[in-house]
A and B are shown apart, each in its own frame.
Chain A
Amino acid sequence: MENVTKVIQLIPLNYYILLSTLLFSIGVIGVLFRRNAIVIFMCIELMLNAVNLLLAAFSSYRSDPSGQVFVFFIMAVAAAEVAVGLAILTMIYRNTGSVDINFLNKLKW
């Protein structure tokens, strides 16, 4: 275990910034790419996780525990968000018979 966790000395912080940026961009592409509302919701989770990873990386590199506590609270909020969001999506499915976002265009100009 002592050998594995030497990542701070070996890997520059820039690599973690690059990785998080890539994951965030893939999440954005997924939101624009798909029409299934549940898959779009999953891509939003992916974006949240990319930001969490970057927060944890900065926190570890700077030896500041506040960042990791913040990631913990983000996870709590994400869990609550998923519970309510999936309830809304099942409600939409019950009313329209589909999770296709193209049917949800009442608010579209």
Chain B
Amino acid sequence: MTLYLFYFLSFLAILCALMVVVSKNPVHSVLYLILTFFAIAGHYVLLNAQFLAAVHVIVYAGAIMVLFLYVIMMLNLNAETEPQKGKWLRVAATMAGGLLMVVLVGALRSAADTISLPVQDSQIGMIKNLGRVLYKDFMLPFEISSILFLSAMVGAVMLGKKEIK
């Protein structure tokens, strides 16, 4: 059952990611990207990383994609105003990306064989274990990230103002 779930979630993620790229309406792109993020959250659950799955759904699907949807609807973008590249540029883009994929797959084909993997039931993704690591070993970066958020907030407000004096 887990195997089928893995294949289903992978198929869903890749299909929705392709639809993000090819759909003409930007609103549809956002909705397909939300589906992709839910599929990736399902992968996190499969990897026994429940904390990451919850944070991923809350931060990405809940906050970031709502912000994208809000901006796209505020700017009133739709399929009519969507600028399209020429046919040959699109073919070239697809070929370049496909070649990058071939190179990466070829380079990483035997990457997993070089490290020895302990086959065990991993419990590190649980909130209890992850919280212990986060508040003990990564205390300083965790606190510094609050300054990052403050500066991002100040920057967003300053950029959004009508005139900067």
Q: Do A and B interact?
A: yes
Q: Which residues does A use to contact B, with CB under 8 Å? A: 3-15, 17-19, 21-30, 32-36, 38-39, 41-43, 45-46, 49, 52-53, 56-57, 59-66, 68-69, 71-73, 75-84, 86-91, 93, 98-100, 102
**B112 cross-chain contacts in A, Cβ below 8 A:** 12-14, 17
Cα of A99 to Cα of B94 in the assembled complex, Å: 22
Please provide the 8 A-B residue pairs with the shortest distance between their CB atoms, ordered closest to farther. Answer: A29-B97, A32-B93, A80-B152, A25-B101, A87-B159, A13-B112, A30-B21, A35-B83
Name the one of B1, B22, B56 contacting A4, with C-beta atoms under 8 angstroms: B1
Q: Which residues does B use to contact A, with CB under 8 Å? A: 1-3, 5-6, 10, 13-14, 17-18, 20-22, 26, 29-30, 33, 36-37, 40, 43-49, 51-52, 55-56, 59-60, 63-64, 67-68, 71-72, 74-75, 77, 82-85, 90, 92-94, 96-98, 100-101, 104-105, 108-109, 111-112, 115, 117-122, 124-125, 129-130, 133-134, 137-138, 141, 145, 148-149, 151-153, 155-157, 159-160
